Amino acid sequence: MQIPFDTELFGISINIHLVLEYLAFFIAFRYYVILRRKSEDHITSGNRLSIILGAALGALVGSRLIGVLENPLVDFSQENLIQLLNTKTIMGGLFGGLLGVELAKKIIGEQSSSGDLFVFPIILGIFIGRIGCFLSGIKEFTYGKETASFFGMDLGDGLLRHPTSLYELIFLVILFFGLKQFQNKIDLKNGELFKVFMVSYFGFRFCIEYIKPNVFYVFGLSTIQLLCVICWLYYSKFILQKLANAS
């Protein structure tokens, strides 16, 4: 199979990344619905709907904002501006969704933690979306730097690059089953599973940014890495508490 993977259906070119992106949303939401039916959700259906809407709006704004900030020095021509407005990143979506949820909960007066039910559907959704990123090769800015290592792959430009999307797929599988074991063996407070997921995933993304060809840095860190630091600061009380309990 050649990367980027292009296919046609009835003579119509299919954007495989876009198809898998929509499929990721659909399957992840269905998985969430199944998990909610099987669990004792202490949040009412009305409040849960408000939380989902808050998450969706926050994710929409956050994904676009961080996508633009990844390369804010671009020439603002009409073509580049359209491309920037279409740029989005799951990292901004996750953190924006988090802030959207907190704002929605404050508005409706909901005190219960709401993130645990979303953890495994989110991981599944990211996994499906990353398959699309990998198949898109250099058409999507998720590829890695050139490398002479055994892991190098031609992603469409004739150069051997780190297949960072594949690395992430492997990490997501480990994270999914690792959190399943974590959830079953450790008595977690409500909301802590989501915090562990966020800290873990943002930690992985912080590290993998070093092998991606970023072009914009502040204090030697990419925009995504700065967002990772902000996420860790947001959860700093939780991180310090868990480190203190482990020592």
Q: What is the pLDDT of residues 77-98, one digit of tens each?
A: 555 555 555 567 889 899 998 9
Give the Cα separation of 160 and 80 in Å (integer). Answer: 27
Does residue 76 have a pLDDT over 70? no
**pLDDT for res 156:** 82
Query: How crowded is residue 113: how many other Cβ atoms within 10 Å of its Cβ?
Result: 18
Cβ atoms of 193 and 117 closer than 8 Å:
no
Question: For strand 221-222 and strand 217-218, is the pairing parallel, antiparallel, or unpaired?
Answer: antiparallel
Q: What pLDDT does residue 127 have? A: 95
Q: Which residue has the higher pLDDT, 63 or 7?
A: 63
Residue 235 has what pLDDT? 93
- What is the pTM for the complete model shown? 0.88
Mean pLDDT of 138-163: 86
Q: Is the pLDDT of residue 133 over 80?
A: yes
What does the pLDDT average to over 201-218?
90
Least confident residue range of 36-45, 47-56, 86-95, 222-231: 36-45
Helices of type H across the chain: 16-38, 45-69, 78-86, 90-108, 119-136, 164-185, 192-208, 223-234, 236-246
Residue 168's pLDDT band, with cuts at 50, 70 and 90, is: very high
Instruction: Tell me: pLDDT of 186 over 60.
Output: yes
Give backbone dihedrals phi and psi of 88, rounded to 5 degrees, phi first. -150, 155
Q: Is the pLDDT of residue 117 over 70?
A: yes
